[in-house]
Amino acid sequence: MVNIQIKEKLISIVGAENYDDSKAGRLVYSYDATPNFQSMPDAVISPRNAQEISSILKVCSSSGVPIVPRGSGTNLCAGTCPTEGGIVLLFKHMNKIMEIDEENLTVTVQPGVITLDMINQVEARGLFYPPDPSSMKISTIGGNINENSGGLRGLKYGVTRDYVMGLEAVLANGDIIRTGGKLAKDVAGYDFTRLLVGSEGTLGIITEATLKLIPLPESKKTMLALYQDLEQAAKSVSKIIADKIIPATLEFLDQPTLKVVEDFAQIGLPTDVQAVLLIEQDGPIEVVEKDMKKMAEICKKQGAVSVQLANSEMEAEALRTARRAALSALARLKPTTILEDATVPRSEIANMVKAINEISQKYGLSICTFGHAGDGNLHPTCPADARDKDEMERVEKAFEEIFIKAIELGGTITGEHGVGVMKAPYLELKLGQAGIDAMKAVKAALDPNNILNPGKIFAKDNRKRVVVSQ
């Protein structure tokens, strides 16, 4: 609880205009993009620099007030939902691009920078920052780093983790540390950069990041492969990789997803087929053309009924934008949209797609599947209604089975959305008790008072639940 003394201390740090504890002001930061999670913070604070954050953390540490850093609140694991109250910390004043270093190929940013704004800035200089989560138009870099976000280009270029070179972060005790730097090689001590990436705000508050850039590929082509059979599409994915081609994007959308996406985007997507693959390659023009031709052949051989090349960059961008809207578009179907991101080794994609279909039939649910098939990261999504308790129980069971199947196939419970609160009960499936204990030891060492985004990653008990709260 934030009492009057704590409130006064916090206001003396950031100023009254950057401290809000009105009901409306707190309510609008009580949620993120995760269905069925909502919890009121005690206050919302908007510091202007790392020094202020340090002072805030000292206050929180000494008084045991939880603190939840939040970017734009687009995450899908309830990672920024203040489930234990406390303070939500915003970065709206810390949203500058500090430097684009064309000699070292780096960009240094404050955490509140919108991902797409930064991407546009670096691309204007012929440079490339590949991680492109579907929410990049809204999400912040700070949020991306804390969730280790992936995206459509993950399979060829990797995820956020692979581009973070150095960080400035404030620890729970208020100490400000710097990790890494503009260095291709650096083995001075533990790799704290990697530890902080994907830590979901539980180990420290990131206040600045230096990110790696690469040269912008000189050309790019986009195509759609259409299938009347889900598994043929999934098999094409494994075949393409096995044929030693790594496309820039290899996305999968099933028919129900195609229908809602087309409903929204109205760009003439095929809705009379069972599945499509959205395939892209970038690089030198000769290589791109050769790869696209080869991949088209593979798709046809696997049973694609047609393969269509995008005629212009505008058409290609429309396809990508439509794909990025898939999750939100599925929300058209029913009031509550439960989505997961179970991930398997890409050779197992076909088996996973098959299993998801069997599980959805078993529980009488309609599960729509789309996702980054190329890197084994699928998003089975279940349109449901939170008011229908029986249905929610079935969703719960179905997703548990999907997680178990993913682990069985050598996969993980979450590929890119994070654990947060939503998947905390399943973490043990992936890590085992010893794995969880090791992680808890790190958390306890860095945040002994448990003030940094408490209640996330580690479940309070082992009761499995994704959606049903009792």
Partner 1 sequence: MTTLKEQTVIQEAFKNRMDEDELLNCMRCGFCLPSCPTYVESGFNETHSPRGRIALMKAVADGLIEPDEDVERSLDLCLGCRACEPVCPSGVRYGHLLEEARDIINQNKKHSLPVKAVRNLVFNGLFPHQNRMRTTAGLLGFYQRSGLQSAARKTGMLNWLPKNLAAMEKVIPQVPKLREMKNRPTYFSSAKPVKKAAFFTGCLMDTMFLETNNATIKLLQLAGCEIHIPQNQACCGALHGHSGEKQTARDLAKRNIEAFEKLEADYIITNAGGCGAFLVDYDHLLKDDREWHERALKFSEKLKDISEILYELEFHKKVKLELPGQIITYQDSCHLRNVMKTSMAPRKLLNSIEGIEFREMKDADRCCGSAGIYNIVESEMSMQILDQKMIHAKSANAAVIVTSNPGCLLQMKLGIEREGLSRKVKAVHIADILVEAACQKEK
Task: List residues near partner 1 by CB under 8 A.
Answer: 22-25, 27-35, 38, 72-74, 90, 92, 95, 114, 135, 137-138, 261, 263-264, 325-329, 331-332, 335-337, 386
User: Least distance (Å) from partner 1 to the CB of residue 141?
Assistant: 14
User: Least distance (Å) from partner 1 to the CB of residue 32?
Assistant: 7
- C-beta closer to partner 1: residue 337 or 412: 337
Cα 406 to Cα 190: distance, rounded to the nearest angstrom: 31
| Nearest alpha-carbon partner for 231 in 250, 248, 261, 252 | 252
Cα 348 to Cα 262: distance, rounded to the nearest angstrom: 28
3-state secondary structure of 14: helix
Amino acid in the structure at residue 31 = Y
Cα 11 to Cα 20: distance, rounded to the nearest angstrom: 9
DSSP string, 104-144: TTEEEE-TTSBHHHHHHHHHTTTEE-----TTTTT-BHHHH
User: Which two structure tokens, joined as six digits, stand for 329?
Assistant: 């578009």
Cα 330 to Cα 380: distance, rounded to the nearest angstrom: 11
- C-beta closer to partner 1: residue 20 or 348: 20
User: Least distance (Å) from partner 1 to the CB of residue 24?
Assistant: 4
Give me the helix-helix angle, 230-242 and 285-301, nearest 10°. Answer: 140
- C-beta closer to partner 1: residue 30 or 179: 30
Instruction: Fill in the DSSP letter of residue 32.
Output: -
- C-beta closer to partner 1: residue 138 or 171: 138
3-state secondary structure of 308: strand
User: Least distance (Å) from partner 1 to the CB of residue 74?
Assistant: 5
User: Least distance (Å) from partner 1 to the CB of residue 72?
Assistant: 6
Other CB atoms within a 10 A radius of the CB of residue 25 amount to 14
User: Least distance (Å) from partner 1 to the CB of residue 467?
Assistant: 13
User: Using an 8 Å Cβ cutoff, are 210 and 165 in contact?
Assistant: yes
- C-beta closer to partner 1: residue 74 or 207: 74
- C-beta closer to partner 1: residue 36 or 274: 36
User: Using an 8 Å Cβ cutoff, are 155 and 131 in contact?
Assistant: no
User: Least distance (Å) from partner 1 to the CB of residue 11?
Assistant: 18
User: Least distance (Å) from partner 1 to the CB of residue 29?
Assistant: 6
User: Least distance (Å) from partner 1 to the CB of residue 337?
Assistant: 5
- C-beta closer to partner 1: residue 335 or 432: 335
User: Which two structure tokens, joined as six digits, stand for 365?
Assistant: 């649910």
Whole-angstrom Cα Rg for the chain? 22
Cα 81 to Cα 237: distance, rounded to the nearest angstrom: 36
User: Least distance (Å) from partner 1 to the CB of residue 367?
Assistant: 16
Give me the helix-helix angle, 313-324 and 255-265, nearest 10°. Answer: 120
- C-beta closer to partner 1: residue 28 or 441: 28
- C-beta closer to partner 1: residue 225 or 330: 330
User: Using an 8 Å Cβ cutoff, are 193 and 180 in contact?
Assistant: yes
User: Using an 8 Å Cβ cutoff, are 261 and 321 in contact?
Assistant: no
User: Least distance (Å) from partner 1 to the CB of residue 113?
Assistant: 12
Cα 113 to Cα 94: distance, rounded to the nearest angstrom: 7
| Nearest alpha-carbon partner for 111 in 207, 13, 250, 15 | 207
